Structure 1
Amino acid sequence: MSEIKKDKAREFKLTSWALKNRNTVFLLSLIIAVFGFMSYRGMPKELFPEVVFPTILVQTIYPGNSPIDIENLITRPIEKEAEDVKGLKQITSTSLQDASMVMVEFNANVPLREALQEVKDAVDRAKSELPTDLLTDPFVTDVDFSEFPIININLSGDFSLEELKAYAEYLEDMIEPITEISKVQIQGVEEREIFIEVDLIQMESLGLSFQDIENAVSWENVSMSGGDIRLGKMRRSIRIVGEFEQIKEIENIVVKRELGRTVYLRDVANVVDGYAEPTSMARLDGHPVVSVQVIKKGGENLLNATDKIFEVLDKAKETGAIPATMSVTLTNDQSDIIRKQLSNLENSLILGVLFVVLVLFYFLGTRNALFVGLAIPLSMLTSFMVLNIINYQINMIVLFALILALGMLVDNAIVVVENIYRFVDKGHKPLEAARLAVGEIAIPIIASTATTLAAFLPLAFWGGITGEFMKNLPVTLIVVLTSSLFVALVIIPVVSATFIKHGENRHDNTPNKRKANRLALILVGLAAILYIAKWFAIANILSLIALIVFLNALFFYKVERWFRDVFLTRLENLYSRTLNYALKGWRPVWFFIGTFGLLIFSVLLFLVRQPEVKFFPTNEPSYINIIAELPIGTDISATDSVINKIENDLDSLLVPYKSIVKSVLTTIGQGDPDEWSAFGDQVNKALTTISFVDFKDREGINTASIMSMLNSELLNQYPGVDLSITQNLMGPQAGKAINIEITGPDFEKLTTYADSIEAHINAQNIQGIEGLKIDLDVGKPELLVKIDRDKARRFGLSTMQIASTIRTSLFGKEISRFKDGEEDFPIQLRYKDEYRYHLPT
């Protein structure tokens, strides 16, 4: 009697409330199931977590200045002020022709908005030291490294370049409005431009200047409002229309009228409807293509984005917007890689759940296993709700954490269910038994869960890029285990109290075959409906459950009964005899000494032969990048010539592997995809991407060996070309494995030292080093023009006038725009090529 009174004194208030409000708990469970599933479906899916470090970019444009001038006049003053901002990690600057780029990187704990304001304040302080004739103030913005290309759509066929470009622009217009897409870039085409190419001799003989031609063109190519006029009781707007509609109109502009003679633009210049100098080229398997590169917004669902892109492509083909004769090839499809990797992890998770439940069947019996197994989906669905609320993504780290937590999810539920049955066996009714059982063990299982969480908690404060990357693991585990504790204390007691029958034999697992077969058929029917709806993951789960139910009714229950009644009994007896033997006399001491000796031996073995340490092991690459960089200033035609040779050599090397190579895409004008570039053309760089077929279709060929072969055959084979070979990134962008930084005031000495160090390391033939790279960009070679100010003043010229004229002559100057339909194109003024590329001119 005293024991019953003591039992009644035990209770856990949260569980007691749940037991008094069972309908509410069942409704809560339904809500968790629905919203958890919706959260899972709606969460962004990526291969790896997005690691964001607050990075602010300061861009300043100052035309007509060399990189050295840009560094002294703009870059250094901004760097000087930016060094004092709080939370600074590092500053990286690049001084280019006409432009400066200063990138300020902060520690991960600095809020992005605060970092942006800090840099803006620093730039404001630096303005007093900047040139007063800047065209615009320095532009300060945050850099989103999570925006990256997710797919390349390559267009080719028997079409002109202009037609391919038009189709590419159509796709650009259709894809850019997609919510998940940041921008779309078209590669392999040139932009249309109207060139006014001036004859130097004719212009000088007629006493004309560039300013005369600019004024004549810009003053004629206008449309503007002339105000309103009242005509009777109505008012009408007056609009002057004078924009060019045809190229001939530009040629017939009057540039000068003097002494009865009219000088037309055609007398001193050729008006050419052409294309800007190319800054990119694209080839797929050696054939020219126009490539549409799609870049995703940070934090958006990549799989949803690509699904919408596929819908756009399908619709374009169905409606004829893209001709059936056009070849549309997809490369660098990140969604394909992510779908396969996540699908493998999801299948592993599903199988893990089923194996856990199967083990529970054998150890706890059918009914207990169902009660305990319920904790797994409910805990995970609860976790998906929480992870969605805190803006987490579904990625490999999160799914790995869920797999890691599988075994621990049921620990609390096992203890709760077994203790409830213990109280039922003592004579308590199920509802009372659930209240007393949880009251007895609530604090111990809370403490047990807390100790497990405490082990993972320090990982959440891991610093650096790797820490930010791996933070998903401890956070997911903490959320999942906390969810399992909630399910064990609130939902499992309610389910157990509702379905446990007073006085039943819980070890009688003989199934009702008719009911089991009926349940299996219902599950198969539901699975078939879900397969039609393309919800394959849930359909697979229901199919496997139906199979287990059917097999259990057929013969599993007999195996389960033998396992529990015979095998476990014998195992317990063996354990009891072993324990009794080990605890007699001095045997516990010898067991302790032996165990301690094994510990010492393990430590010594570890010290003698230390294992290889790799935080993010490299898998067989799905694609290989070959990045070629020629000296800065190399013309795109020269880059193309060198890349052509590399492509031919690569084609020969890949002949034995043609069956597993999906495509080879070369883009001239693009560098390393893992390196971020703010602005400036990269015509001296090229990227060749070799994509392989799926792992299962590679006929046992190791793509890592192909990469190793390319390293040995291609590196250091092309003089003047900096070649590097990389594979798809497996882990966070943490930079190179080893960096050697050389600092000092003398730029020329630094260059010499860097070359010496590179040569010394290469001479050592260190195993594992595939290629060294010096990240020094010396800038384009320059021809310096020094103005004789005394002579210039005699002719009434200033340095600015001379510099502006030279720039217009060579580089060109946009003086107006030519409209053609809904598009408009720049009108560029410059010398003819025979004068532009003739130095004495």
Structure 2
Amino acid sequence: MNELIEDSKGPLSWFARNHVAANLLMLLIMVAGFMTLFRIKIEFFPEMSVDIITVTVPYLGASPGEVENGVALRVEEAVAAVDGIKRIRSTSFEGTCMVVIEVEEYADTKDVLDNVKAEVDRIITFPEETEKPIITEITTRHEVLTIVLYGDASERTLKELAEEVRDELTAMDNISQATLAGVRNYEISIEVSEENLRRYGLSFDQVANAVKRSSLDMPGGSVKTRGGEILFRAKGQMYYGGEFEKIVVLTRADGTRILLGDIAKVIDGFEDSDISSRFDGKNAAFVLVYRVGEQGTLDIANTIAKYVKDKQNYLPAGVSIGIWEDNSIFLRSRMNLLKRNALIGLCLVFMCLALFLDLKLAFWTTMGIPISFLGAFWLMPVVDVSLNMISLFAFIMSLGLVVDDAIVVGENIFAYRQRGMEPIPAAIKGVKEMAAPVTMAVLTTVFAFLPLMYTKGIMGKVLKTIPLIVISVLMVSLVEALLILPAHLSVGRVTSKTNSGKRMGAKFHPAVGRMLGAFVNGPFARLAAAAVRLRYVTLACGITIFLSTIGLIVGGYIKFTFFDPVEADNMIALLTMPQGTALEQTSEVVKRIEAAAEQVRRQVDSTRPDQPSIFKHVSTVLGDQPTLRKQGGPMQAGPAGVSAAHLAEVNIELLGAEERGEISSIDMKNQWRDLVGEIPGVSSLTFESEWKSVGEDINVELTHDN
């Protein structure tokens, strides 16, 4: 009697007796999870600060050596004494310099950024030709997708259309950031010959000062009147070449005027840059769309898909619009994988439990999966985690861990009820007996994932999401197993073993029980008895297996890779020629690469007649390597927006894996590389067909003291 009274105390007993409280707790978790799921931030990859600051100083027309001596060394010397800097790396390109500053983990990146700006602003020994330094903090800003405009149109037409698309997109409520790529910036250049300067008795400085004085807006002050205050402003800023041609450079005593158009050639065009883009063999311009703040990746992708479909009807003849590098596809596939695995897990757990135990027990134990996941969704904003590729991977990982505690607790309650115990006492006794071991089992798994939260560096910021999700799922699962499940199993009727023939499943439960009992009491019992009787042999076998495993790892039979290569749905060729290579020479090498790719297309298409071509689109960029820049950070492809005639990229989008069937993108990449062959005079030519390359196997970096 005293034992029964003692068992009736505590929160576990209270929840087991109060079904309404347990159901309310379950509804609270599920409703809160559903509400949070529709409001949670969805992104391709988590945004974070990578603790890196870049200083970019344009020095147009200067060689890499001049950039290093005139800019890079002076920036390094100026910022070296700033507190919180871990490492400084600088790279000098033709016409620009980039200094990458790594920040210590203990330091506040914003404070270091302010101090770096202050030190760089104090530098007064930069060459006169240098432009204003650009100092920024690097963040993991990931684009949602790229809109491409391509066709038989001029560069100006495509850029104007791209600007129109950008402005229309950013005017939408759910899109805030979009930038142009693959096109040159506008520029008005004024060319004055020495002959004309001598003819009119002018100097170059006089012409430059005339342009400066004429093309500007100036405030003119204000005048207070009885009707109010009137502001005056002189508007003279010019934006087009024709306006500059009308600038008065010189007025003579007889009243004649010499205009800029009389002595100079005004070119209203683009900057002298080597960037050019082609898409499916036609001129192209790209609009990169990003997700910021609380905007959702899938929401943006859906909006743009509808916009692109409607926009095609308003484009000029010969110009097309499409979606390129849609990262939402990968996010959707990962979410579908989670849904598919969750559904399979639900079915398998229910069927396995239904075979050996009661249908009611199987149902409520299986419900632990959706309850635990919804509870984790509820906690995600609390722990500042979004729904992204990493968190979805953590959810998939936790599928196999989530119902273990519920199975143990439910089976113990079920066993007591089979023995004839009343429902509520059986639920109380069963959950109290298993509370300690189940809690310790969950905590053991939690402690196994906990160290990932304290991993240092950029990788630690990425991996931190995994333990936060797994621990959240396990904690909610523990609450469900100890507080909610017993209440559901404390009602209804479970007959004893002697009368089990009347319950549902009576036809197969005895057969399954006999088979399981025959295995447990037969081969398994004999093996366990032999292992205990021959304990030294058992210990020796265990040590042998352990040492064999160590030997396989040390001997190299079990390979170690940071990330296994995953086939992508595209192939990329990254070309780097020696510094100073002419754009025409780089273009000739690119044509050879494209011709080899076309040969691969014809060979593969010939093996699959009456089917779509294996290539969907081919994008070529001269003067930049956008894919390398996205994957490898600021040091991989040089400063953004600075062209280099020695760089190029060919990116080929393939049919999806389901449409390709057994055709491997890696095999096609290798075939492409073989057809291209060795090209003399190339610094590097890299072919990729893996999703998200993590870098080279070996990277050797040489440093020297100046």
Q: What TM-score comes out, normalization by structure 2 length?
A: 0.85
1:668 paired residue number: 622
Structure 2 CA distance for aligned equivalents of residues 87 and 254 of structure 1: 54
Is residue 174–residue 312 contact of structure 1 (8 Å, CA) maintained in 2?
A: no
Structure 1 CA distance for aligned equivalents of residues 137 and 239 of structure 2: 41
Q: C-alpha deviations, 1:16-42, integer Å up to 9, x for none?
A: 343465434323322321222343444
Q: 1:373 aligns with which of 366, 382, 398?
A: 366
Q: 2:441 aligns with which of 431, 437, 448?
A: 448
1:271 paired residue number: 266
Superposition RMSD on alpha carbons, in Å? 3.7
For residues 491-502 of structure 1, what are the structure 2 equivalents within 5 Å? Answer: 491-497=484-490, 499-501=491-493
Q: Which moved more, 1:230-239 or 1:596-605?
A: 230-239
1:361 paired residue number: 354
What is the deviation of 1:400? Answer: 4.0
Structure 2 CA distance for aligned equivalents of residues 202 and 386 of structure 1: 74
2:284 paired residue number: 289
2:203 paired residue number: 209
Structure 1 CA distance for aligned equivalents of residues 204 and 528 of structure 2: 105
Q: Give the AA of the match of 1:452.
A: T
Structure 2 CA distance for aligned equivalents of residues 559 and 234 of structure 1: 96
Provide the secondary structure at the position in 1 that maps to 2:662: coil
1:678 paired residue number: 639
Q: 1:605 to 1:636 in 2, by over 3 A?
A: closer
Structure 2 CA distance for aligned equivalents of residues 40 and 78 of structure 1: 47
For residues 684-833 of structure 1, what are the structure 2 equivalents within 5 Å? Answer: 684-714=646-676, 716-720=678-682, 722-730=684-692, 733=694, 735-745=695-705
Q: 2:522 aligns with which of 574, 580, 594?
A: 574
For residues 149-188 of structure 1, what are the structure 2 equivalents within 5 Å? Answer: 149-157=143-151, 159-177=153-171, 183-188=177-182
Q: 1:69 to 1:249 in 2, by over 3 A?
A: closer
Q: C-alpha deviations, 1:752-797, integer Å up to 9, x for none?
A: xxxxxxxxxxxxxxxxxxxxxxxxxxxxxxxxxxxxxxxxxxxxxx
Q: 1:670 to 1:213 in 2, by over 3 A?
A: same
Q: 1:10 to 1:629 in 2, by over 3 A?
A: same
Q: C-alpha deviations, 1:382-410, integer Å up to 9, x for none?
A: 12222332222334544444344334322
Q: 1:504 to 1:288 in 2, by over 3 A?
A: same
Q: Which moved more, 1:244-253 or 1:23-32?
A: 244-253
Q: C-alpha deviations, 1:304-357, integer Å up to 9, x for none?
A: 33222223323434xx44468642232222222332244234312321222122
Q: Give the AA of the match of 1:703.
A: S
2:395 paired residue number: 402
Q: 2:301 aligns with which of 300, 306, 312?
A: 306
2:33 paired residue number: 36
For residues 643-658 of structure 1, what are the structure 2 equivalents within 5 Å? Answer: 643-658=590-605
Is residue 178–residue 305 contact of structure 1 (8 Å, CA) maintained in 2?
A: no
Q: 1:205 to 1:426 in 2, by over 3 A?
A: same
Q: Give the AA of the match of 2:604.
A: Y
For residues 48-87 of structure 1, what are the structure 2 equivalents within 5 Å? Answer: 52-60=49-57, 67-68=64-65, 70-72=67-69, 74-80=71-77, 82-83=79-80
Provide the secondary structure at the position in 2 that maps to 1:744: coil
Is residue 216–residue 254 contact of structure 1 (8 Å, CA) maintained in 2?
A: yes
For residues 451-600 of structure 1, what are the structure 2 equivalents within 5 Å? Answer: 451-497=444-490, 499-501=491-493, 507=500, 510-511=503-504, 557=505, 560-575=508-523, 578=526, 582=530, 587-593=534-540, 596-597=543-544
Provide the secondary structure at the position in 2 that maps to 1:369: helix
Structure 2 CA distance for aligned equivalents of residues 56 and 421 of structure 1: 61
Q: 1:110 to 1:682 in 2, by over 3 A?
A: farther
Q: Give the AA of the match of 2:492.
A: I
Q: Give the AA of the match of 1:291.
A: F
1:385 paired residue number: 378
Structure 2 CA distance for aligned equivalents of residues 50 and 728 of structure 1: 23
Is residue 152–residue 331 contact of structure 1 (8 Å, CA) maintained in 2?
A: yes
Provide the secondary structure at the position in 2 that maps to 1:710: helix
Is residue 352–residue 403 contact of structure 1 (8 Å, CA) maintained in 2?
A: no
Of all paired residues, the percent bearing the same amino acid is 26
For residues 319-338 of structure 1, what are the structure 2 equivalents within 5 Å? Answer: 320-322=313-315, 326-338=319-331
**Structure 1 residue ranges without an equivalent (≥5):** 512-556, 747-841
Structure 1 CA distance for aligned equivalents of residues 221 and 449 of structure 2: 73
Q: Give the AA of the match of 1:381.
A: L
What is the deviation of 1:277? Answer: 3.1
What is the deviation of 1:626? Answer: 0.8
1:613 correspondence with 2:564? no
What is the deviation of 1:670? Answer: 1.9
Is residue 349–residue 362 contact of structure 2 (8 Å, CA) maintained in 1?
A: no
Provide the secondary structure at the position in 2 that maps to 1:389: coil
Structure 2 CA distance for aligned equivalents of residues 407 and 188 of structure 1: 46
Q: 1:717 to 1:744 in 2, by over 3 A?
A: same
Provide the secondary structure at the position in 1 that maps to 2:401: helix
Q: 1:176 to 1:688 in 2, by over 3 A?
A: farther
Provide the secondary structure at the position in 2 that maps to 1:143: strand
Q: 2:579 aligns with which of 632, 645, 657?
A: 632
What is the deviation of 1:693? Answer: 0.7
Is residue 50–residue 469 contact of structure 1 (8 Å, CA) maintained in 2?
A: no
2:608 paired residue number: none
Provide the secondary structure at the position in 1 that maps to 2:265: strand
Provide the secondary structure at the position in 2 that maps to 1:289: strand
Q: 1:291 to 1:123 in 2, by over 3 A?
A: closer
**Structure 2 residue ranges without an equivalent (≥5):** 606-612
Provide the secondary structure at the position in 2 that maps to 1:742: coil
Is residue 74–residue 130 contact of structure 1 (8 Å, CA) maintained in 2?
A: no
Provide the secondary structure at the position in 2 that maps to 1:622: strand
Q: Give the AA of the match of 1:204.
A: R
Q: C-alpha deviations, 1:98-132, integer Å up to 9, x for none?
A: 6543211135x446xx1231353355457666528
Is residue 184–residue 293 contact of structure 1 (8 Å, CA) maintained in 2?
A: yes
Q: C-alpha deviations, 1:602-647, integer Å up to 9, x for none?
A: 5556666622222311122321211112333344454334423332
Q: C-alpha deviations, 1:230-265, integer Å up to 9, x for none?
A: 899787666656666986664444322345354333
Structure 2 CA distance for aligned equivalents of residues 245 and 80 of structure 1: 40
Provide the secondary structure at the position in 1 that maps to 2:149: strand
Aligned length: 688
Q: 1:682 to 1:48 in 2, by over 3 A?
A: same
What is the deviation of 1:362? Answer: 0.9
Q: 1:400 to 1:559 in 2, by over 3 A?
A: farther
1:117 correspondence with 2:114? no
Structure 2 CA distance for aligned equivalents of residues 693 and 426 of structure 1: 60
Q: 1:398 to 1:619 in 2, by over 3 A?
A: same
Q: Give the AA of the match of 1:267.
A: D
Q: C-alpha deviations, 1:645-674, integer Å up to 9, x for none?
A: 332333223321343222111112321232
Structure 2 CA distance for aligned equivalents of residues 377 and 440 of structure 1: 25
Q: Give the AA of the match of 1:153.
A: I
Q: Give the AA of the match of 1:714.
A: V
Provide the secondary structure at the position in 2 that maps to 1:633: coil
Structure 1 CA distance for aligned equivalents of residues 458 and 360 of structure 2: 47
